[in-house]
């Protein structure tokens, strides 16, 4: 039988080569490429899960064999083999990506790329991406050109830690469990399997929990992926143990069926699972166990039909290139789209991904192969550990240096006047427009300075956002934060989603002038409304529960007025977003407040802005007027009409439409009165919101005055 002796640089003989495994690698990388190219492979991302299983199987096979032969593992020698196998091509791609990125990636995103390149060079980029995925300040970030290195980081961490754990377990086991070691000094495979269970079972449980609670973070972190590597590792341990006892791995008559079922499970999951599926929850067991079934069948009966198909020469050739292809295809796609962003189409993505085969083949032919074989120009590396480890360290430092150079980027925008003194907000932004201005009111010139920096506008957020007073989508317990004058005799409560929280700076201006105490109660993507909510077509039960708890909480806070707004794109039940349903949902909630004597001021949803305004600003540093966008399209389907209708139905409530302030002409400008208006994600910058205080706070004053004249009976 063929043992799982690892990839080619670690094989003891040619008999260890597994054509079917090379074919599986080809299938995995083709799934990933098709998914990234936009082809109808809805879950091609699970090709990465296939790689995890194969890595666990092959690497553990190497380690188990070394334990059996030597009674221990040479950790430096193992890391040296990994360095020779992985680092040269990986660092080459990072350096090329950083170099090309300098010329094609716009603005602040270049510095973000530099940070990611540094993280990728030291194989921790998966944790960087996990933190970014849950960082609300980075919620509008676009994929990094080195985002695909997250899976390589997971594997590299596995390569470092798994041998160390085996070494430590062996040393401790000889003292504590001497009966579980063979004559050669190596641990019996049952002991190794027990160690693997201690790792894999908690990892799988953690993956289930974190995927349900925080799928964005769960996708990237090592702890939710360890069990996938453990499936392959467990297969290697179990199979080797049976072979050592001269036991059959699998009856011949079952091998073909198991391989077929495993391959169907893998391909079926890739076609049927959707990108919106929380991953890697329990569904990830389908392609991973399916992959293990194919590997086991080919190990037991190499001549089974599926293994012969996977051993088809073109697939084997492609599998041999799979690592290089995986490295190159994503930066070629992302950087190509940046370079050709005015000309990209769906087919352009396919062509870019297909074109990545050329640099992948070239780097494999003239870089990877000479190093793997210690031939040609790489003969000096030999097979000794020290030169390979030195090479690995030097390469990693080269990657860090390449990324660090991108971090030196500086914005071309000036954010203060030549005097160095920025005018008060009363002289900026919305305050430069006449009150009651018509839709055709002329706009002031942007001038020679602008605030905030258009390339950093996404960071100009209200304190209720930055201070995490707005709870995330999974939370159900309301969090109340206090701003303004804590001893104020008038309490203004700002309640709702991020579209409501964005107006906190305007209320803070009112608090300074009127001594208001301002309370915020916010939840991401959750409107303050009474009917069942939905998010991305699925019931949003956390929003419903949060709404119910907020309504129990608010009367006890005794606000004098509630200010709210909402993303009009929400639905109140899957597939139901009709204006009258939305208006009824708002009105029902506001009537509940009215029953407690609490009036409502509703601010209409702000116009929808493009997410790439920072890119436009980077491309038009001298002409930010070119970044204005069409008003008609920006205000379509916002739900402002629903909120207006609700205000008409609820006595004492008021509706404020700030569209004429944000889009005072037929277009929506990026800058008004030296202030950047929009930030990514359809929101208003905190600075511009503060300049709109005189359009909001007088209306609140009127509502408070009416409430004082007509207190509830």
User: How do residues 358-376 score in pLDDT, each as one tens digit?
Assistant: 999 999 998 988 887 766 5
Strand partners, 55: none
pLDDT score recorded for residue 140: 54
Average pLDDT over residues 587-593: 93
Beta bridge partners of 600: 562
pLDDT at residue 422, as a whole number: 85
The answer to whether the beta carbons of residues 613 and 680 sit under 8 Å apart is yes
User: What are the angstrom distances between the C-alpha of 136 and each of 29, 318, 466, 481?
Assistant: 31, 40, 8, 17
Q: Which of 11-25, 131-145, 359-373, 583-597 has the lowest mean pLDDT?
A: 131-145
Residue bearing the bigger pLDDT, 148 or 136: 148
pLDDT for position 371 = 81
pLDDT confidence of 9, banded at 50, 70, 90? very low
**pLDDT at position 347 over 90:** no
pLDDT at 73: 86
pLDDT for res 433 = 87
Q: Outline where DSSP puts E strands in 542-617.
A: 561-565, 600-603
Domains of the chain in sequence order: 8-406 (no CATH), 435-706 (3.40.50.1110)
Supply the pLDDT for residue 2. 34
Q: Tell me which of 372-386, 500-514, 516-530, 605-619 is least confident.
A: 372-386
Residue 9: CB partners within 8 Å, gap ≥ 6? 81, 84, 85, 372
Percent of the chain at pLDDT exceeding 70: 88
Q: How confident is the model at residue 5 (pLDDT cuts 50, 70, 90)?
A: very low
Q: Which two tokens stand for residue 414?
A: 């000036």
What is the tens place of the pLDDT at every residue in 649-687? 998 899 999 999 999 888 999 999 999 999 887 899 999
User: Residues, the chain, total?
Assistant: 713
Judge contact between 448 and 414, C-beta under 8 A: yes
Q: Estimate the crossing angle of helix 75-104 against helix 149-176, to 10 degrees.
A: 160
Residue 149 confidence (pLDDT): 97
Mean pLDDT of all residues in 545-554:
94
**Average predicted confidence (pLDDT) for the chain:** 87
User: Is the pLDDT score of 177 beyond 60?
Assistant: yes
Enumerate the β-bridge partners of residue 538. Answer: 535
126-133: Cβ within 8 A, 24+ apart: 126/150, 126/151, 126/153, 126/154, 126/220, 126/221, 126/222, 127/153, 127/220, 127/221, 127/222, 129/220, 130/216, 130/217, 130/219, 130/220, 130/221, 131/217, 133/216, 133/217, 133/219, 133/220
User: How confident is the model over 205-218, as a mean pLDDT?
Assistant: 92
C-alpha atoms less than 13 angstroms from C-alpha of 224 in its C-beta half-sphere: 28
pLDDT at 180 over 70: no
- Burial of 712 (C-beta count, 10 Å sphere; 0-12/13-18/19+): exposed
pLDDT over 90 for what percent of the chain? 57
What pLDDT was estimated at residue 11?
32
Give Cβ neighbours of residue 691 (< 8 Å, ≥ 6 apart): 425, 426, 428, 429, 430, 431, 673, 675
- Indicate the pTM of the whole model: 0.84
Instruction: Label residue 571 by pLDDT band (50, 70, 90).
Output: low
pLDDT digits (tens, 9 = 90+) for 103-135: 999 988 999 999 999 999 999 999 999 988 765
Place of tokens 């079952």: 254
- The answer to whether residue 189 scores a pLDDT higher than 80 is no
The encoded tokens of residue 379 equal 């003969």
DSSP state of 441: P
């Amino acid at each position: 039988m063929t043992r799982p002796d690892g990839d080619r640089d670690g094989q003891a003989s040619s008999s260890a080569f597994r054509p079917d495994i090379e074919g599986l690698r080809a299938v995995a990388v083709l799934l990933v490429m098709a998914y990234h190219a936009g082809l109808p492979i809805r879950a091609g991302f699970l090709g990465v899960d296939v790689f995890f299983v194969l890595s666990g199987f092959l690497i553990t096979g190497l380690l188990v064999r070394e334990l059996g032969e030597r009674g221990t593992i040479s950790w430096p020698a193992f890391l040296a083999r990994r360095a020779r196998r992985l680092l040269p091509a990986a660092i080459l791609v990072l350096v090329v990506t950083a170099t090309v990125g300098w010329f094609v990636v716009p603005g602040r995103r270049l510095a973000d790329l530099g940070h990611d390149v540094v993280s990728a060079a030291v194989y921790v980029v998966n944790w960087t991406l996990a933190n970014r995925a849950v960082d609300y300040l980075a919620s509008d970030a676009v994929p990094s050109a080195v985002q695909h290195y997250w899976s390589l980081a997971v594997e590299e961490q596995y390569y470092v830690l798994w041998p160390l754990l085996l070494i430590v377990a062996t040393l401790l086991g000889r003292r504590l469990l001497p009966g579980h070691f063979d004559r050669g000094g190596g641990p019996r495979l049952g002991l190794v399997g027990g160690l693997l269970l201690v790792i894999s079972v908690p990892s799988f449980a953690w993956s289930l929990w974190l995927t349900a609670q925080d799928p964005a973070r769960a996708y990237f972190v090592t702890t939710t992926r360890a069990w996938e590597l453990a499936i392959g590792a467990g297969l290697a341990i179990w199979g080797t143990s049976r072979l050592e006892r001269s036991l059959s791995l699998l009856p011949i008559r079952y091998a073909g069926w198991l391989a077929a079922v495993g391959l169907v499970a893998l391909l079926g999951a890739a076609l049927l699972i959707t990108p919106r599926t929380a991953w890697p929850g329990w569904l990830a067991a389908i392609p991973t166990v399916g992959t293990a079934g194919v590997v086991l069948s080919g190990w037991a009966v190499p001549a089974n039909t599926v293994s012969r198909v996977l051993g088809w020469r073109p697939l084997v050739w492609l599998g041999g290139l799979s690592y290089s292809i995986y490295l190159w295809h994503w930066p070629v796609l992302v950087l190509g789209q940046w370079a050709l962003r005015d000309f990209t189409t769906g087919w352009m993505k396919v062509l870019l991904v297909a074109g990545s085969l050329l640099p992948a083949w070239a780097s494999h032919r003239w870089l990877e192969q000479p190093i793997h074989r210690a031939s040609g120009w790489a003969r000096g590396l030999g097979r000794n550990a020290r030169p390979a480890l030195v090479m690995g360290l030097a390469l990693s430092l080269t990657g860090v240096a390449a990324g660090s150079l991108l971090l030196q980027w500086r914005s071309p925008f000036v954010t203060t006047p030549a005097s160095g003194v920025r005018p008060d907000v009363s002289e900026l932004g919305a305050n430069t427009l006449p009150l009651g201005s018509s839709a055709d009111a002329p706009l002031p010139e942007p001038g020679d300075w602008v605030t905030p920096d258009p390339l950093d506008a996404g960071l100009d957020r209200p304190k209720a956002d930055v201070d995490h007073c707005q709870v995330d989508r999974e939370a159900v317990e309301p969090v109340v934060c206090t701003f303004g004058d804590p001893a104020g005799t008038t309490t203004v409560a700002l309640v709702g989603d991020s579209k409501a929280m964005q107006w906190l700076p305007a209320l803070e201006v009112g608090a300074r002038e009127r001594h208001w105490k301002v309370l915020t109660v916010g939840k991401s993507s959750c409107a303050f409304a009474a009917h069942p909510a939905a998010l991305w077509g699925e019931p949003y039960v956390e929003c419903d529960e949060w709404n119910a708890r907020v309504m129990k909480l608010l009367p006890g806070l005794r606000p004098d007025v509630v200010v709210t707004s909402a993303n009009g794109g929400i639905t109140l039940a899957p597939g139901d977003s009709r204006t009258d349903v939305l208006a009824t949902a708002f009105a029902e909630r506001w009537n509940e407040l009215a029953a407690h004597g609490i009036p409502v001021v509703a601010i209409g949803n702000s116009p929808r802005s493009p997410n790439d305004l920072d890119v436009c600003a980077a491309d038009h540093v001298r002409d930010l007027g070119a970044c204005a966008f069409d008003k008609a399209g920006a205000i379509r389907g916002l739900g402002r009409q629903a909120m207006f209708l609700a205000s008409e139905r609820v006595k004492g409530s008021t509706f404020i439409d700030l569209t004429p302030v944000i889009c005072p002409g037929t277009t929506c400008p990026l800058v008004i009165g030296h202030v950047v208006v929009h930030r990514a994600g359809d929101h208003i910058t905190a600075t511009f919101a503060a300049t709109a205080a005189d359009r909001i706070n007088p209306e609140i004053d009127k509502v408070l005055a009416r409430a004082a004249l007509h207190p509830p009976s």
